[in-house]
Amino acid sequence: MHWAVAVTTAPRPKSTLERTLAGLRRTGWAEYRVFEDTTRAGAWRTWLAALRELTTQQADAYLICQDDAVFCRGLRNYLEKTLWPAGPVALCSPYCPTPYKRTQCGWHEENRGWNLVGAVCWTIPPESGKAILAALDHVEAERQVDARVGQWATETGRSVWYHTPSLVQHIGSGNSALGDPLVIDLRTATDFIGEHSSASQKAKDGD
């Protein structure tokens, strides 16, 4: 698969951006664009800017992650073997926050509309990425990427998928755009398989 990859970042007390970029390279994505919220426009506008750039590239899949995500080894290879689940697909999230964890390994649907959480790392089919922009690029807001895209997915009849076990972890102490220090289970994965663990082996074993 040919990928177009973007990372969104904002000032934070302790930067984790370099760790995220090193993780992308280690797991197979050597090319990416970084989108920094230097104007304090907020996570939503920065995320849309990243998606807008991705749609100008020829790709089979888009990946947008935050600057505080880390990845398991072999993530790209695993995704290329398992994308896309039954469609039409809005997005697939290799990051799975604690409340979405399941006992069975693999992709599972989380069609929660406005209540969707966890936009730490999303893979998006190009047709869905372009449709998101067509529907939402005009929306002026600062935050709630997950809620806005989740509601769009429900309204358009597209499925949203999260993965058990989590193949990505959120390492930030809170919201990087807002400086929110809270750490809650909506923002962390209790079953992350580890930065140096193999995605395919763990998913196969059910660990």
- pLDDT per residue, tens digit, the chain (207 aa), is 999 999 999 877 788 999 999 999 999 999 999 999 866 667 899 999 999 999 999 999 999 999 999 999 999 999 999 999 988 999 999 999 999 999 999 999 999 999 999 999 999 999 999 999 999 999 988 889 999 999 999 999 999 999 999 999 998 765 544 445 544 556 788 889 887 676 665 555 554
Q: Is domain 3-205 annotated with CATH 3.90.550.10?
A: yes
Helix spans in 67-125 (H): 75-82
Pairing label, strands 159-164, 106-109: antiparallel
Residue 177: per-residue pLDDT:
46
Output the pLDDT for position 143: 85
Q: What are phi and psi of 107, to 5 degrees?
A: -80, 140
> What pLDDT sits at residue 207?
44
pTM given for the model: 0.89
Strand locations in 26-171 (E): 33-36, 61-66, 69-71, 89-93, 106-109, 121-124, 159-164, 168-170
Q: Where are the domains of the chain?
A: 3-205
